[in-house]
Amino acid sequence: MRRLSSLKSRLRRLLLRVTPERRPDPNALPPQILRKLVGGDHWDDVGSNQFEYLKKEGLQPGHSLLDLPCGSFRAGRHFIDYLETGHYFGVDMGVVGIERGIQYVLEPLGLMEKRPTIHVGRLTAEPNDLSLFTGFTRFDYIWMHALFDHIPNEIIHRALQDMSSILVPGGKLYATIFLNPHGPAFREPMIRPRNDSLENAVVTFPDHDPWHHTIDFFQETASGIPALRLDACLYDYPHPLGLRMLRFVRESPGAP
């Protein structure tokens, strides 16, 4: 608990000293080192793909967006630039990634001037008080990229419950998954080629990180959450490891 408080204090100090006069030179680090610091291979492509995909799905500048986990803002930089001032909220458990993302990504681009709301936080299987991060904001879109393959099922269930409560009626939640298309009875590991190559491929599992999931699991989970509906599993999301995209919708009051 003391360590978490210390990390939050470091983040607050960093945010307080972000001013136009103190921006670092964006050319001070070679691009390959910058990518290693804030995301690794495919950092640029995966970030821009996320933004373009959500824009294709209807994101408009006047919408409010929660980006969780926001990481080092590889997609967040595009979202913040596109959205109106104060409409971007980012949450991540990794204070180092957030700090480096602010210092090496957002600051040099002048994006802190658009007043993004950024917090350090962790999802748990217990009810999460999201007002600590979002205040009274209700979101048109929630973006959960590369999260569900790293957290156990009970936390996924809790996260969907909590997120549904902060979506506006008709609001949409997008979450990527490694899909198990063979059904719940299939309990074997699965190889995920990277860009159709086995070099640097990833192996996913039914019972530990990195997880894969069936559509049945999410249909069953959503069926137990009032007003939240699994709308579709989308196969057109471009990702080097073949992640699939789930789209959930918060039903409007009185919807059948």
Domains of the chain with CATH codes: 2-250 (3.40.50.150)
Q: How far apart are CA 160 and CA 158, in angstroms?
A: 6
In contact, 98 and 70? CB cutoff 8 Å: yes
User: How far lies 120's CA from each of 89, 117, 143, 197, in Å?
Assistant: 11, 11, 16, 35
- pTM for the predicted model, two decimal places: 0.85
Higher pLDDT, 99 or 144: 144
Q: How far apart are CA 121 and CA 153, in angstroms?
A: 19
CA-angle at 143, arms to 139 and 144, nearest 5° = 130
pLDDT in tens, 137-192: 899 999 999 999 999 999 999 999 999 999 999 999 999 999 999 999 999 999 99
Indicate the pairing of strand 139-144 with strand 65-67: parallel
Q: How far apart are CA 75 and CA 83, in angstroms?
A: 12
